Structure formats: C-alpha cells, structure tokens
C-alpha cells in the first residue's frame, strides 16, 4: 500500500486557509479542527486556580517526565473505574505532554530501518511522519466500510507481520468515528503475541461515545504483555491547550518511552497535572453532559448533510462526521469550494490518506446555531445556478 501523506500537517494548512478567509472579513464557520469550544469541569478550573497560587508548583514537577504521582494514581483510578483495567502507576503509566507526542516516542523507541510499522488508511496524520523518522517501512491497512472501518487483519500478509514491531490503531477513530470492541482487540492481541510486536490503540476520544461505551485495548486479558494505549485529556475535559495525556500498558514499552522523554522534557506543568487528577477522580455527570452536547450536534449535522444529499453515517463515537459530498471534484476541491462559496471550512478526506478521498470531515466543535447556519448556506450551493462547473452537484 502506498504512502498517503500530502505536504505539510493538515491542521496547519487548514488553519492558514481559515485565517486567510477571516482576514478577508468572511464569517467562517469552522468545522476543521477538533478544538473544543466547551467549558472544562468547574472543579478542574477551581483546582487549577488554587494550585497556580502555590510557588512550589512552578518548579520542575515532582516525577519530572513521568508525571507527578497524584496524576498517575488518578489516571490508574480512572482506568479501573471506566475500563476495569488495573494499572501500576509506577510502572505501567506515565504522563505525556499531549498524547500526540506518544506516537513519536513509540516510533523512536520501537522502530529501526528494516522493521515494519502497520498504520491505518485513513488515519490521524501524525503517525506516518513519526514512523518515517525511524527509517522503518510503513504498511498501510485500509479501513473500509464493509469491515466496520476496522483493519481486515486476515488480509495483512504473514511476511509483513514477521517484520512488524509496532501497529497503531485509533478507536474511537479520527476521522471516521468508528469504534472497536473486545473481539477485535482480542484478535489484535493474539497477533501481537504471536508475531512479537507492540500494538498501540490511540484512545484520544474514549469518553466521547453516543451508544455503548467503547472498550480499552488494555481490558483484553494478556494485553499488558504487548499493548499500550494513548489517552488524551484534551477532548475529554476541553483542555487541548494544556497538553495533557498519558501512555499506559506494557511496562517495558512505557519505560522505553520514558527513557526518551527524560532527555527531552521535564513533565507537564504541576497545576495542570493536579487539576487533571481532580477531574479524573470526579464522577459528577460532567461527561454525560458533554456527550449530550455532542450527540445533539451530531444528530443535527448528520440530518442536515443528508438533506443536502451527502452520504453521512451517524458516528457511534468521536468528534467528527465523515461524509461523502454530493458534488463533483476531489475532496480538496470541494473543501476549497465550500470555503470560497459559503465560508464553511471542513477537512478534505484525502488529508487522512488515499482511502479518505471522496469524503469530508466535519468536526463537532461548532454550536447548534452555527450548524443550522452552515446547512442553510450549503443549501444555496445546491440551488444556485451559477456554481462553478467544477463543483456542480452530482445527479
Ligand atoms: C487520534 C488523535 N490522537 C491524538 C490527538 C492529539 O491529542 P493531544 O491533544 O492529547 O495531543 C488527536 C487530536 O486531534 C487525535 O485526533
């Protein structure tokens, strides 16, 4: 399978395009980045404000790169409560300055030239460049609707598995919104054990679900022998700017990541870690409220897009709608057209890989009022006799 990356990081490109439109005075409705517009839990903010007033909390954090003990303990409590997974906060879990850095450290820790890393197409655009740094070969496995947007593990050749040292999956999935369950993770763990590779699930959207709560890969028996999971607090608590995440699971891999991190950073800002710990220990209905906001946005956007002729599945989880537009042209063409003609910004599916061509990704970080406005604007395209010929509605 061929490489899928096109140019610079997709979010950078989209942000530049949105900024250029804003500078022209356009009223852009921005569905590009999963950058939440909602408040964090009040206890989290209160803890941050209290902790920031202590001069000691402005020193290098206790625990340095691994994270303060209170953060790691709270994360272990959260894993037990949410997923039924028991973790040793000293050996099986460390903090990350945003889960995004986890992909880089895992690649650097586990891959060398001649090894294989298995990634999914479409996929979150961070994994591929991280793997490329190591000189390892990348094998892309497609995520297809017919297989529930899970990799078809039976299609991956045995000789690929023999050379594989790392496989990264991402459920709940960005950009598609698919979720994975225990039978899939069980099969993955069996393969990882048989062929002796590490499997990582990027669980950045684990708390954003609208049907049954998705499982953690670590809940599969034996997972702690060969699997790790990345968790982000960015979307769970609406704190993308704080940069708080973690890697948990296989102790030896966690230690390898820490080996690299200790020479690079000194850990997350202590008040952020203490506030994150407070949020993870709290069970106050905040996450139910958060899910209800996204569920309402999801339903509104999916319905509106379908009325316009898009093919859009209602995602089981995550923060995005993955939709096939009713216009001719590549996904880049259509994304540019929507920005030019109705100041609606959304990501082209091909930015996530060749199997994303033909789709657009809409983030749910837009209010219901603005979603309605966006649908009304897009209706004009369909009804407008003067649209550019490249962008005429299909059918
Ligand atoms: C799949 C996936 N992993 C990781 C991240 C990054 O999360 P963080 O803010 O913790 O670095 C994102 C953010 O968009 C994501 O979509």
- Tens-place pLDDT, residues 23-58: 999 999 999 999 999 999 999 999 999 999 999 999
Atom of ligand 1 nearest to the CA of 235: 9
What does the pLDDT read at residue 8? 79
Q: Is the pLDDT of residue 3 over 70?
A: no
Phi, psi of 198 (to 5 degrees): -100, 135
Distance of CA 100 from the midpoint of ligand 1 (Å): 5
Residues with CB under 6 A from ligand 1: 34, 98-100, 124, 170, 174, 202, 204, 232, 234, 240, 245
Distance of CA 282 from the midpoint of ligand 1 (Å): 23
Distance of CA 192 from the midpoint of ligand 1 (Å): 24
Q: Which domains does the chain have, with CATH numbers?
A: 10-39+286-383 (3.90.1150.10), 42-281 (3.40.640.10)
List the residue whose alpha carbon is closest to atom 3 of ligand 1.
204
By most ligand atoms within 8 Å of CB, the mutation choice from 103, 234, 238, 268 for ligand 1 is: 234
Rounded mean pLDDT of the chain? 94
What does the pLDDT read at residue 340? 94
Percent of the chain with pLDDT over 70: 95
Distance of CA 232 from the midpoint of ligand 1 (Å): 7
What does the pLDDT read at residue 383? 63
The confidence band for 342, taking pLDDT boundaries of 50, 70 and 90, is very high
Phi, psi of 116 (to 5 degrees): -120, 140
Mean pLDDT of 164-172: 98
- Tokens 């020193």 belong to 59
Nearest alpha carbon to residue 46 among 275, 290, 323, 318? 275
Q: Which region, left, alpha or beta, applies to residue 134 given φ > 0 means left and ψ of -120 to 50 means alpha?
A: alpha
List the residue whose alpha carbon is closest to atom 16 of ligand 1.
174
Q: How far apart are CA 80 and CA 78, in angstroms?
A: 5
Helix (H) or strand (E) holding 340: helix 331-342
Distance of CA 19 from the midpoint of ligand 1 (Å): 22
The confidence band for 1, taking pLDDT boundaries of 50, 70 and 90, is very low
Q: How far apart are CA 369 and CA 362, in angstroms?
A: 15
The confidence band for 11, taking pLDDT boundaries of 50, 70 and 90, is confident
Atom of ligand 1 nearest to the CA of 173: 1
Nearest alpha carbon to residue 242 among 266, 205, 278, 271? 271
Q: Is the pLDDT of residue 382 over 80?
A: no
Distance of CA 231 from the midpoint of ligand 1 (Å): 9
Distance of CA 367 from the midpoint of ligand 1 (Å): 21
Give the three-state DSSP class for 238: coil
Q: Is the pLDDT of residue 394 over 70?
A: no
Q: Is the pLDDT of residue 292 over 50?
A: yes
Q: Is the pLDDT of residue 246 over 80?
A: yes
Distances from the Cα of 10 to the Cαs of 16, 20, 32, 107, 131, in angstroms? 10, 16, 10, 20, 17
The confidence band for 6, taking pLDDT boundaries of 50, 70 and 90, is low
Percent of the chain with pLDDT over 90: 92
DSSP characters over 184-238: HHHHHHHHHHHHT-EEEEE-TTTT-BSSSPPPPGGGSTTGGGTEEEEEESTTTTT
Q: Which region, left, alpha or beta, applies to residue 74 given φ > 0 means left and ψ of -120 to 50 means alpha?
A: alpha
By most ligand atoms within 8 Å of CB, the mutation choice from 104, 177, 203, 232 for ligand 1 is: 232
Indicate the pairing of strand 93-96 with strand 245-249. antiparallel
Mean pLDDT of 248-276: 97
Atom of ligand 1 nearest to the CA of 96: 10
The confidence band for 9, taking pLDDT boundaries of 50, 70 and 90, is confident
Distance of CA 67 from the midpoint of ligand 1 (Å): 19
Greater confidence, 5 or 176?
Answer: 176
Q: How far apart are CA 320 and CA 324, in angstroms?
A: 13
Atom of ligand 1 nearest to the CA of 232: 10
Q: How far apart are CA 318 and CA 207, in angstroms?
A: 8
The confidence band for 118, taking pLDDT boundaries of 50, 70 and 90, is very high
């Amino acid at each position: 399978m061929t490489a899928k990356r096109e140019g610079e990081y997709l979010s950078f490109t989209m942000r530049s395009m949105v900024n250029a439109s804003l500078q022209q005075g356009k009223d852009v409705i921005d569905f590009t980045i999963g950058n939440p517009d909602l408040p964090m839990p009040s206890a989290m903010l209160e803890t941050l404000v209290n902790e920031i007033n202590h001069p000691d909390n402005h020193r290098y954090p206790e625990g340095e790169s691994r994270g303060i003990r209170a953060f790691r303990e709270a994360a272990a409590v959260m894993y037990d409560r949410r997923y039924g997974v028991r973790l040793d906060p000293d050996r099986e879990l460390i903090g990350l300055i945003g889960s995004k850095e986890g992909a880089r450290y895992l690649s650097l820790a586990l891959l060398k030239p001649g090894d294989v890393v298995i990634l999914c197409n479409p996929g979150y655009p961070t994994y591929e460049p991280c793997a490329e740094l190591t000189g390892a070969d990348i094998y892309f496995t497609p995520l297809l609707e017919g297989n529930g947007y899970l990799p078809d593990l039976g299609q991956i050749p045995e000789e690929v598995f023999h050379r594989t040292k790392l496989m990264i999956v991402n459920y709940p999935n960005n950009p598609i919104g698919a979720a994975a369950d225990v039978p899939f993770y069980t099969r993955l763990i069996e393969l990882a054990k048989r062929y002796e590779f590490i499997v990582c699930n990027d669980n950045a959207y684990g708390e954003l679900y609208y049907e049954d709560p998705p499982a953690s890969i670590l809940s599969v028996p034996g997972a702690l022998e060969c699997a790790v999971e990345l968790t982000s607090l960015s979307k769970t608590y609406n704190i993308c700017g704080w940069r708080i995440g973690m890697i948990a699971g296989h102790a030896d891999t966690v230690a390898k990541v820490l080996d690299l991190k200790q020479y690079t950073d000194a850990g997350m800002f202590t008040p952020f870690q203490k506030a994150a710990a407070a949020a993870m220990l709290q069970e106050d209905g905040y996450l139910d409220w958060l899910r209800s906001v996204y569920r309402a946005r999801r339903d509104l956007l999916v319905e509106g897009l379908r009325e316009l002729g898009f093919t859009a599945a209602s995602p089981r989880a995550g923060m995005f709608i993955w939709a096939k537009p009713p216009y001719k042209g590549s996904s880049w063409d259509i994304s540019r057209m929507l920005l030019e003609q109705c100041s609606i910004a959304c990501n082209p599916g091909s930015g996530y890989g060749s199997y994303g061509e033909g789709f657009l990704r809409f983030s749910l970080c837009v209010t219901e009022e603005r979603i309605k406005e966006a649908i009304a604007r897009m209706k004009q395209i369909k009804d407008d006799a003067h649209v550019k010929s490249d962008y005429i509605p299909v059918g």
